[in-house]
Amino acid sequence: MLKVFLVEDEYVVREGIKNIIDWKGHGYDFCGEAGDGEVAYSMIQKLKPDIVITDIKMPFMDGITLSRMIKSEFPWIEIIILTGYEDFQFAREAIKIGVSCYLLKPVNGENLIKEVDAISEKIREKKSEREAAQRYEEEMRERTELDKREFFNTLVQGGKSTSELISEAKALSIDISALRYNIMLLKIWSDKHDIGEYSNSVVRVEEAVRNIAEENSALFFDFKVEGTALLFKGDDDNDIKKKTDRAIGAMKELFSAYKHIRYFGAVGQPVGRVSEIHTSFDWASRAFAHLYLTSENGFLVGSKEGLRPENNVDILSEIDPKHIDRRLMKRFLRAGEESEITFFLEEYLNNIGDHALRSKMLRQYIAMDVYFCIADFAENELGLTREEMEEKFPFPGNEVLSDEEKTHDYLSEILALALSLREDHTLGRYHDVIKDAIAYINEHYSDEELSLNTLAAQVNFSPNHLSSIFKQETGQPFIKYLTDYRMNMAKELLSRTSKKSNEIGILVGYKDPHYFSYLFKKTQGVTPTQYRNKGHGAEEA
């Protein structure tokens, strides 16, 4: 029910307007009245009516001044001005301010309620438009998150100037201004699933982490296919450290409520320029490589002195040669990425011992161990035959083992090759998953509740992961694909049938006719009725 407020200094006139109309019967809440603009303004600030009816000539504050102040603070409030003066100057000023209607006194109840009804319809239309725009922005959030992920990758790769990075951030409505920065990388998964597999509780925890980031002046980014990155901003290193420690403490408390949740976090070193954020990222990545080398939860800080615990950061178990086994290498082969090979291999070798590749005997042992680990992975998890394995992966001969550098390069190359083969194998599986997802969309597009989350649950992927591979496979974010599909179905119904727009909206998944009309015009450039009337189908009933 829309609220109406009356401002009129003549008591008799005020009482007449208040009582001559059955406000409640016409669907309005007559929420208040005042005898001058000054008193009225304070009451309007509190009551926030939808419509204000005000006289022009009043003591203390006139109607024009009141209208100007109302429109400045509450631009959505509609104003009807009443006056006994046929002065064009008043009317011109009222129009300039944005007053909806200008009525001459005396005004009868029938004319007044007619104007109020007309304005009310405009209010409802504007409200529907605002709600539709807000819903559209929310639905398009997936596209924004993908754009933010690409921006983060640009940010941490280095090579772009500060002005370029600030410009890209501004285009995405990201405030990247600060005096100091630091990166945190975070992986969360369920011990009931392998790293990267879907878990509803992981999705809930990631949303909570997003809130923790916001509370501690950190920007939240989806990182790679499965992972999270937080960019902390502060005034100095001490400020950054406080925010990071506070966030880690809050995350630990959050994770402790989920006994089956596994997590691993890595923190970089503070830097003072936007263009240096990639350096902080490198330190965090170095620490993050230990994700594949330990079975414990915790946070590590990357530093020039090595990996060190700090305040709220856990001391992870000391990793010695007994812990470096094929299971750890297999974890990296299953979930690692090519960009992580350098840091993973460095930490893998460091934890075997200082100068692990110095001894030819140890070089041979490590190279053979990694080779056979990859062979087992390729044969049993990627489906390669022994002959295919031997053809693709060169055996570590004497040339490879002749010095440290060549052995290190060999290990890097066969790891990269293994991950490349895994990606090819995974892409085939992704193709089948997206094929199933599209089939599900085709069958359920009319369900208004269809969303990225429901589709992700259907194909047993996390929403973040599905969003990434959906765009990779189709070239479009899920929400754009779904919207385009629904709009094409709507156009077909507009062309082939005489059904009303609101009926067609329901048939293609939009119960709210205002939102359907808004979305159709937003994507097609015309309203459903205009589309039909341009010769695309029968006249709308």
CATH of the domain at 122: 3.40.50.2300
Q: Indicate whether 461 belongs to any domain.
A: yes
Q: 423 lies in which domain range?
A: 318-435
Please tell me the predicted confidence (pLDDT) of residue 538. 44
Please tell me the predicted confidence (pLDDT) of residue 135. 81
pLDDT per residue rounded down to tens, the chain (541 residues)? 899 999 998 888 888 898 888 999 999 999 999 998 989 999 999 999 999 999 888 888 888 899 999 998 899 899 998 877 666 666 677 777 888 888 877 888 888 899 899 999 888 888 878 878 878 877 777 778 888 888 998 999 888 888 999 999 998 889 999 999 999 999 888 776 554 445 567 878 888 999 999 999 999 998 866 689 999 999 999 999 999 999 999 999 999 988 888 899 999 999 999 999 999 999 998 888 888 877 788 899 886 555 444 444 443 333 344 444 667 788 888 888 888 888 888 888 877 765 667 777 778 778 888 888 888 888 888 888 878 887 888 888 888 888 888 888 999 999 999 998 888 777 777 888 899 999 999 999 999 989 888 898 888 887 878 888 898 889 888 999 999 999 999 999 999 999 999 999 999 999 988 889 989 998 999 999 999 887 654 444 3
The tally of domains found in the chain comes to: 4
Within this chain, do residues 307 and 322 fall inside the same structural domain, yes or no?
no
Q: Indicate whether 541 belongs to any domain.
A: no
Within this chain, do residues 160 and 288 fall inside the same structural domain, yes or no?
yes
Within this chain, do residues 42 and 79 fall inside the same structural domain, yes or no?
yes
Residue 122 CB neighbours (<10 A): 12
Instruction: Specify the CATH number for the domain of residue 247.
Output: 3.30.70.270
Residue 472 CB neighbours (<10 A): 12
Within this chain, do residues 309 and 167 fall inside the same structural domain, yes or no?
yes
Q: Indicate whether 327 belongs to any domain.
A: yes
Within this chain, do residues 341 and 395 fall inside the same structural domain, yes or no?
yes
From the number of C-beta atoms within 10 Å of its C-beta (0-12, 13-18, 19+), residue 541 rates as exposed
Q: Indicate whether 440 belongs to any domain.
A: no
In angstroms, the CA 292 to CA 409 distance is 20
Q: Indicate whether 425 belongs to any domain.
A: yes
Instruction: Specify the CATH number for the domain of residue 471.
Output: 1.10.10.60
Please identify which residue in the block is written with the tokens 């895994």. Answer: 422
The residues, any chain, with a CB within 8 Å of residue 389's CB and separated by 6 or more, are: 375, 378, 379
Please tell me the predicted confidence (pLDDT) of residue 322. 47
What distances in angstroms separate CA 516 from CA 121, 131, 322, 449, 490, one per listed residue? Answer: 19, 12, 62, 14, 10
| Residues written for the chain | 541
Q: Indicate whether 254 belongs to any domain.
A: yes
What distances in angstroms separate CA 449 from CA 12, 206, 514, one per listed residue? Answer: 54, 22, 17
Within this chain, do residues 302 and 170 fall inside the same structural domain, yes or no?
yes
Tell which residue, 366, 368, 369, has the closest CA to residue 349: 366
Q: Indicate whether 112 belongs to any domain.
A: yes
Provide the phi-psi class of 224: left if phi over 0, else alpha when psi is between -120 and 50, else beta.
left
Please identify which residue in the block is written with the tokens 């509190």. Answer: 46
> Considering 301, 317, 333, which residue would you say is the last residue of a domain?
317
> Considering 139, 157, 186, which residue would you say is the last residue of a domain?
139
Q: Indicate whether 468 belongs to any domain.
A: yes
> Considering 435, 467, 490, which residue would you say is the last residue of a domain?
435
Within this chain, do residues 113 and 83 fall inside the same structural domain, yes or no?
yes
Within this chain, do residues 336 and 387 fall inside the same structural domain, yes or no?
yes
Within this chain, do residues 158 and 306 fall inside the same structural domain, yes or no?
yes
Structure tokens at 414: 């066969």
Sign of the torsion formed by the C-alpha atoms of 501, 141, 209 and 335: positive
Structure tokens at 26: 């016409």
In angstroms, the CA 123 to CA 117 distance is 10
Within this chain, do residues 420 and 450 fall inside the same structural domain, yes or no?
no
Please tell me the predicted confidence (pLDDT) of residue 85. 65
| Residues 186, 213 contacting (CB under 8 angstroms) | no
The residues, any chain, with a CB within 8 Å of residue 82's CB and separated by 6 or more, are: 8, 53, 54, 55, 56, 63, 103, 104, 105, 107
Within this chain, do residues 47 and 13 fall inside the same structural domain, yes or no?
yes
Tell which residue, 156, 408, 419, has the closest CA to residue 266: 156
Buried b (16+ CB within 10 A) or exposed e, 70-106: bbeebeebbbbbbbeeeeeebbebbeebebbbbeeee
The helix or strand, by DSSP H or E, that contains position 483, with its residue range, turns out to be helix 478-496
Within this chain, do residues 299 and 169 fall inside the same structural domain, yes or no?
yes
In angstroms, the CA 249 to CA 312 distance is 7
Confidence (pTM): 0.60
Structure tokens at 58: 């009043």
